[in-house]
Amino acid sequence: MTTSFTAAPDTASRNPILISVGTRPEIIKMAPVYAELRRRGMPVAWVHTGQHREMAESLYSFFDIAPEHEVMLERRNGSLAHLNALLLEGLSDVFEKVRPSAVLVHGDTTSTLGSAQAAFYLDIPIGHVEAGLRTFNAREPFPEEKNRELTARLARWHFAPTPGAAANLNGEGLAAGGVHMVGNTAVDAALAGTSRLAELLGSGRLALPGPLQRLQPHLARCRLITVTAHRRENWGPGIRNIARAVARLLAAHDDLAVVWPVHGNPAVSDVVHAELGALADRLEGRLCLCPPLDYPALLWCLQHSLLALTDSGGIQEEGAALSCPVLVLRSTTERPELIEAGAGLIVGTDADHVLATVTQLLKGGAELKRMRRAVNPFGDGHTARRIADVLAREIEA
């Protein structure tokens, strides 16, 4: 059984557990925790830190979440320092008003670090969900690697998704009693999300976005590959090489179709459309360059894909949960369990290597079948329950 997204009414309290997140992946991965806390009648509230405001509304609707608080970010520039300063000030105001019994943060974004800093300054205990991921390379990914390291120094509870992540935390000298190996909430979200997606599509209460509807007829004769790329370290040559690899794959295999939800940052979108825009027009539907997809649509893509090419951390977890092999478009990953389990490969961004790897996997398909059968290393869909167990035990009523 997986976590349901439909939650019981909130319990009023002056001192709720406060979930503080703002980016798309954070919302997805914290939704199961929010639902589980509400199901148990534990007081919980949500603050949206505002980073991905344009993507948040559909996610909150899908997950049945109504944030009680929001930080309004009036950004003057795109610098990380400016964003962190705005978050620290805005979140401090919220935390002082709410006086939560604990603040839960997720992963490694600027929202994560800003939330942890603000809570630490106010002496509010911090729970870090998806703690302990490491590449041991300060610049890959940047700034995420240092964000999660710094958050670990501030947190009281470290909810590690895998034994390897827990070992990383213990190796950094953190008290063993604060490290809890619980699994990854991405699995809870993906399993419950696909179930809800099937229900909504089957009842006619949800329709796939137009680009995917236009893609569907081609899937009768074409195998689908999902591509995403957005990491800062891939801006420039990396994104360009990925786009060129996609073009060469489509030229070499007329039974392939590609869907690429293109990140809105001009450092990504301008390069992708410059390389592939004209090709998309010529391929009559086999190449779908579309705006970022909402979560249900992305789950649909992964369910129907032969494999995924991505530099995203979340898709590495979602792919493993949905038996979709993942080729990681980076030189390293903080999720080595994916590779060790045989569910993914690190391929980097060299166009020749990406092309050769996909081509080899397409030959006969035996390796792809083995990757699909790999045991998911990120959990069993019950992570949120384990997190709630710890919080219920250790937070005073």
Q: What's the token pair of residue 306?
A: 């032969």
Q: Residue 179: which H helix or E strand, with range?
A: strand 179-181
230 has catalytic annotation = yes
The one catalytic residue among 38, 218, 232, 335: 232
Annotation says 69 is catalytic: no
Give backbone dihedrals phi and psi of 126, rounded to 5 degrees, phi first: -120, 130
Catalytic residue among 10, 36, 108, 311: 108
- Alpha carbons 229 and 100: distance in angstroms, whole number: 36
Reference 257, options 271, 246, 242, 268; nearest CA is 246
Of 10, 130, 145, 149, which is the active-site residue?
130
175, 152 Cβ separation under 8 angstroms: no
| Residue 263 appears among annotated catalytic residues | yes
The sheet with strand 344-346 has its strands ordered as 287-290, 256-261, 223-228, 305-310, 326-328, 344-346
Q: How far apart are CA 147 and CA 85, in angstroms?
A: 14
Angle at 257 between CA 271 and CA 59, to 5 degrees: 70
| Degrees, nearest 5: CA angle 219-209-254 | 25
Tokens of 246: 């996609």
Tokens 């994916």 locate to: 338
Residue 149 is among the residues annotated as catalytic for this protein: no
Instruction: For residue 139, give the DSSP letter.
Output: T
Could you say which DSSP state residue 178 is in? G
Look at phi and psi of residue 330 and say left if phi exceeds 0, alpha if psi is from -120 to 50, else beta.
beta
328 - beta bridge partners? 310, 346
- Pick the closest to residue 337 from 347, 329, 326, 348 (CA basis): 326
Rounded Cα–Cα distance for residues 25 and 9 (Å): 24
Of the residues 48, 158, 230, 330, only one is catalytic, namely 230
144 is catalytic: yes
> Which of the following is catalytic: 10, 36, 140, 144?
144
- Dist CA 172 CA 166 (whole Å): 10
Would residue 130 show up in a list of annotated catalytic residues for this protein? yes
Catalytic residue among 24, 196, 263, 286: 263
Catalytic annotation, residues? 108, 130, 144, 230, 232, 263
